[in-house]
Structure 1
Amino acid sequence: MCDDADQFYRRYGNIFTVTHPSIDLDVISIVERGRKPEYEEILTLIEKHQPDVLLLDEGLLASYAQEGKLSSLEEMIAEDKFDLAEYTPGVIESLRAKGNGTLYALAPHFTVPVLYYNRGLFEENQIKLPHNKMSWQEVFDLSKRFEGMGAGENRVFGLSLDVMDTTDILRHISRTFSLSLFDTKAEKLLIHSDGWKRAVELATDAVRSKIVPFSNYYTDFINGKAAMVVAQPWMISHCKTYGIKNLDWDMVTLPVDPKNPDESPHVQLEESCAIPAASPNKRAAWEFIKFINGPEMAKALSEYGLLPTRSPFLKEMDGKSMDPFYMLKPTSQTSYYGWYHRNVPREFSNSFTPLLEDALKAIVDNKKTVDEALAELEVKGQDALAIARTAKKKEKSSGTKATTGS
């Protein structure tokens, strides 16, 4: 069971069916028309279809493992002497943390953005080059060095992000800091905490300084009009295919939390392969998991443009070292990040987002201090959470489906 059957076959299924003709694959997609089902709906689908293998994101992996819904892989790994040594540092530790010390899943690939930079722009303007493991403050300070360069269509920005507004910038920063909007029970908002205050200060200062444009994301960079951009590995091929002539670029790790400079929540294991505890075909399921996490598949995934978790298989791309992609470990933290939590009604986000936008605008416009705006936002947000929970209870009592965050 996975999000997209077609993608599954392209990445894994076609190769597996050729190499393992004695094992039949029946793939169930759970995403329909771009909509991923809610947690309770996925449980219903699992109960209905009884799959032998699940491809899970990190949130679902942690939930299922801690609720006893998955089968441990430890014994089969030991029996088959399956080599875990070649995995990128931190991957196995992170997966074990999701299962409170037990390994319930293996992940064949991961995603993480990096900070690309235009070496030519930096050297022409005698600005020190970016380096690995910078903080957001350091990146924004570098970006400010390009302020005033060019005008109109020829203006040069210091930094380009995939953002449309201040809220989007805050999402980037708050994720780096592993911030959650809620306490562990999802009963209390934490937006007025020191961590959120710092993240909001960074985001609103960046907007007030006009150092991050809200348009032309990666195109500014490949056209030589942005000194830095945060993007996934696909940017490498874009620079080669669409970049201006003689675009001299390189890359370093994306910004990190100075308190935890060796890891990042942005390192995501999006397709962790696990076996349901109730599966009657655990050995066949393990053969599949073992194959798609093996060296042959790691090589195939690297050619497909993905980042295999087995680190020796992707040393460079287009002549550039891939070290920045492999330098940060995935965080072992298992809590929910940002705006969403499985136990929070999704309607809360619809109410909270405009409140947050208003608070951020008031800070950017210097109408309120960060402390004032967030103190007020926390009160309004707490009220919005209570209203959303009441509405959810009414929907349940009336038999109407209630949606929750995931």
Structure 2
Amino acid sequence: MNNNWFAKLRLRKMVGVTLSLVMLVGVLAACSGGSEKAAEKTVLRIGVMYGGSDNEPYMRQQYTDMFEMMNPNVTFEIVGAINYDDQRFETQDSTKPVTDQPDTYEKVKELLTGQNPVDVMIFDYNLLRRLTQDNLLQQLDPLIQQDKFDLTDYVSTVIDGIKAAGDNNIYALTPTFSSSALFYNKKLFTDAGVTPPTDKMQWSEILSLARQVAKGEGEARNFGFSFNRYSNDGFSDTQTYAQALQLKMWDDKAEKMLVNSDQWAEVWQTVADLYNEKIVPTQEFIQQMNEKVSAEGGNDPFYGDLFIKGRVAMTIGEYYYINELKKAADNATKIKDFVPVDWDVVTVPTFPGNPEVGGNIYLSSLMGINAKAQNPDGAWDFIKFSNGKEWAKLKSRSLYEMVARKEFLTPIGGLQYNMDAFTTLKPLPPLSSDQEKIYREKPGIWEAQSPGYELFQKVLTKDMTVKEALAEWETRGNATLEKLKTDPTGGMDDGGGIAKPFG
């Protein structure tokens, strides 16, 4: 009797285990699209602009690990267009020829057209127009329509920027983007009885507000505006201002200076006036404040950031600056005589000729399918996943980048601010010329730019007029450009190598 009972119990266990295995196999088959599909191993080659032994783990963590975990039949190969390890440890001396910097676009093109081309290319926005014009990317619009891939909640800034570089077609998608906005101090505007800035204000309007809210003398001065969180020299500010206008210092071949123009003169005069009227803080003012803090035995946890200290009414800041402001407020009780800033944001200033465009939006993780992809279906599956809602939900916790889907764009730390300020304007269209190529092929080009710093200081001290300074910059710059025709290095001894970009 006992033997029969044990036999029945054993049979029941065997049946139970068998049923569990059957159910498990069914679940796995459902998750993987069927046992036949699960057994099929595929390789997906991902091209990135900059590779190397230290970059690959980061790229996998950022882009492929999650997809690979959910699709165990897929194996990724990460291929860098430019590998820093190739030249990082190479010794440069007089006995060896200078190593030329690689052409980024040509290296990307090699990944797309070589004998073993990549399936997906992850690249920066400044390459998108050239890649589409050279027919190196597959148009995504038919795939989006075919799979009914929902883009209705995509930030218009992202989609409009992508279409602008692709003749109103979509050749790439990006799950994240970076953006800046104009931060303003509510209290300083209230104290001055001035209406705060609003979205889509022009530069002239913002600078007019800056003049109205700048108050005080000496160490008690509150400034109206700063081009960034930290005080730069005036020449750097002219470069920032000119970049928003897409002004060039030289022509597309770097053979002629373009700075002696009415537009450049207006830029220089505008910035010089801001410094002379003490509307923007100077490096000297920052240094005096730092010396005072040091003399009193303290330290500055904000590293000279005058906006966070409540001394600047408006400044242009990146999205992650919000986290800095929040941390300062959360730790206010630990900081002597510190009062947290009551702030909000609006769009960065615009110009009359392009009121819908801002100069502080970056699409640095664009994903496109190679026109010669060996695994185009797998490439599209990966792009769909990386740009889908599930991925956006995970990445929405980032403090440094914003996700492209509006549904998951929420204020950091439960704060309340104008989120639309970061997503309203379109990015500046790519320049017609490849400025990166000029800097690479003519590393001595910096010598044509450097007189600008010296000459702008003379404008500030009123030793030269703006027109005189720009005319001299043109003359000295042209002399350098002429010299670079026969010596692209400009006499630089240590040129070459790979210039790794910030970020």
TM-score of the alignment, normalized to the shorter chain, above 0.5: yes
| The 10-residue stretch of structure 1 (43-52 or 279-288) with the greater mean CA deviation from structure 2 | 43-52
- Alignment equivalent of 1:164, drawn from 232, 242, 252: 232
User: For the Cα contact (< 8 Å) 2:443–2:489, is it kept in 1?
Assistant: no
Task: Return the letter of the residue paired with 2:206.
Answer: V
The Cα of 1:335 is off from its aligned counterpart by 2.8
The Cα of 1:15 is off from its aligned counterpart by 2.3
User: For the Cα contact (< 8 Å) 2:122–2:367, is it kept in 1?
Assistant: yes
The structure-2 alpha-carbon separation of the partners of 1:183 and 1:77, relative to structure 1 and needing over 3 Å to count, comes to farther
Counterpart check, 1:309 vs 2:361: no
The structure-2 alpha-carbon separation of the partners of 1:315 and 1:200, relative to structure 1 and needing over 3 Å to count, comes to same
Q: Give the equivalent residue in structure 2 for 1:381.
A: 477
TM-superposition CA deviations, 1:149-181 (whole Å, max 9, x none): 2643x5433223245212221122112212233
Q: Give the equivalent residue in structure 2 for 1:105.
A: 172
Task: Return the letter of the residue paired with 1:156.
Answer: N
**Structure 1 unaligned runs (5+)?**
none
Counterpart check, 1:357 vs 2:481: no
TM-superposition CA deviations, 1:315-360 (whole Å, max 9, x none): 43322231111121223454359xx342453424320232111222
What SS does structure 1 have at the residue aligned with 2:150? coil
Counterpart check, 1:125 vs 2:192: yes
- Alignment equivalent of 1:298, drawn from 392, 399, 421: 392
Counterpart check, 1:72 vs 2:142: no
Structure 2 CA distance for aligned equivalents of residues 353 and 403 of structure 1: 21
Q: Give the equivalent residue in structure 1 for 2:122.
A: 55
The structure-2 alpha-carbon separation of the partners of 1:176 and 1:74, relative to structure 1 and needing over 3 Å to count, comes to same
| The 10-residue stretch of structure 1 (159-168 or 183-192) with the greater mean CA deviation from structure 2 | 183-192
Structure 1 CA distance for aligned equivalents of residues 256 and 500 of structure 2: 15
TM-score normalised to the size of structure 1? 0.86
Q: Give the equivalent residue in structure 2 for 1:221.
A: 307
Q: Give the equivalent residue in structure 1 for 2:13.
A: none
The Cα of 1:119 is off from its aligned counterpart by 0.8
Task: Return the letter of the residue paired with 1:242.
Answer: A
User: For the Cα contact (< 8 Å) 2:129–2:430, is it kept in 1?
Assistant: no
Structure 2 CA distance for aligned equivalents of residues 49 and 220 of structure 1: 52
| The 10-residue stretch of structure 1 (218-227 or 108-117) with the greater mean CA deviation from structure 2 | 218-227
| The 10-residue stretch of structure 1 (291-300 or 239-248) with the greater mean CA deviation from structure 2 | 239-248
TM-superposition CA deviations, 1:247-286 (whole Å, max 9, x none): 3111111111122122113222111111233321121111
The Cα of 1:101 is off from its aligned counterpart by 4.2
Structure 1 CA distance for aligned equivalents of residues 248 and 221 of structure 2: 36
TM-superposition CA deviations, 1:15-72 (whole Å, max 9, x none): 2222333222222354638999542455456648733222111222222222233232
TM-superposition CA deviations, 1:298-324 (whole Å, max 9, x none): 222221132122233214332223111
User: For the Cα contact (< 8 Å) 2:484–2:490, is it kept in 1?
Assistant: no
The Cα of 1:146 is off from its aligned counterpart by 4.4
Structure 1 CA distance for aligned equivalents of residues 428 and 393 of structure 2: 25
Counterpart check, 1:114 vs 2:167: no
Counting aligned pairs with the same residue, the percent is 29
Task: Return the letter of the residue paired with 1:228.
Answer: M
- Alpha carbon RMSD of aligned pairs, Å? 3.3
Counterpart check, 1:370 vs 2:466: yes
Q: Give the equivalent residue in structure 2 for 1:18.
A: 69
The Cα of 1:234 is off from its aligned counterpart by 1.3
Q: Give the equivalent residue in structure 2 for 1:328.
A: 425
Task: Return the letter of the residue paired with 2:423.
Answer: Y
Q: Give the equivalent residue in structure 1 for 2:334.
A: none
Structure 1 CA distance for aligned equivalents of residues 462 and 328 of structure 2: 40
The structure-2 alpha-carbon separation of the partners of 1:101 and 1:130, relative to structure 1 and needing over 3 Å to count, comes to closer
What SS does structure 2 have at the residue aligned with 1:149? coil
Task: Return the letter of the residue paired with 1:210.
Answer: K
The Cα of 1:122 is off from its aligned counterpart by 1.7
What SS does structure 1 have at the residue aligned with 2:64? helix
Structure 1 CA distance for aligned equivalents of residues 348 and 70 of structure 2: 38
Q: Give the equivalent residue in structure 2 for 1:233.
A: 319
Task: Return the letter of the residue paired with 2:237.
Answer: I
Q: Give the equivalent residue in structure 2 for 1:179.
A: 247
The structure-2 alpha-carbon separation of the partners of 1:225 and 1:265, relative to structure 1 and needing over 3 Å to count, comes to closer
What SS does structure 2 have at the residue aligned with 1:106? coil
Structure 1 CA distance for aligned equivalents of residues 500 and 323 of structure 2: 35
The Cα of 1:113 is off from its aligned counterpart by 0.9
The structure-2 alpha-carbon separation of the partners of 1:234 and 1:404, relative to structure 1 and needing over 3 Å to count, comes to closer
Counterpart check, 1:5 vs 2:102: no
Bigger-Rg structure (1/2): 2
Structure 2 CA distance for aligned equivalents of residues 145 and 365 of structure 1: 24
The Cα of 1:405 is off from its aligned counterpart by 12
- Alignment equivalent of 1:202, drawn from 270, 276, 283: 270
| The 10-residue stretch of structure 1 (275-284 or 2-11) with the greater mean CA deviation from structure 2 | 2-11
TM-superposition CA deviations, 1:186-213 (whole Å, max 9, x none): 5443222333222222222223333323
Structure 2 CA distance for aligned equivalents of residues 52 and 312 of structure 1: 29
User: For the Cα contact (< 8 Å) 2:157–2:424, is it kept in 1?
Assistant: no
User: For the Cα contact (< 8 Å) 1:115–1:253, is it kept in 2?
Assistant: yes
Structure 2 CA distance for aligned equivalents of residues 189 and 118 of structure 1: 39
The Cα of 1:291 is off from its aligned counterpart by 1.3
The structure-2 alpha-carbon separation of the partners of 1:319 and 1:146, relative to structure 1 and needing over 3 Å to count, comes to closer
Structure 1 CA distance for aligned equivalents of residues 348 and 160 of structure 2: 21
The Cα of 1:77 is off from its aligned counterpart by 2.1
**Structure 2 unaligned runs (5+)?**
1-46, 89-100, 287-301, 330-337
Structure 2 CA distance for aligned equivalents of residues 55 and 293 of structure 1: 13
TM-superposition CA deviations, 1:211-237 (whole Å, max 9, x none): 323357773222222222211111211
Task: Return the letter of the residue paired with 1:80.
Answer: D
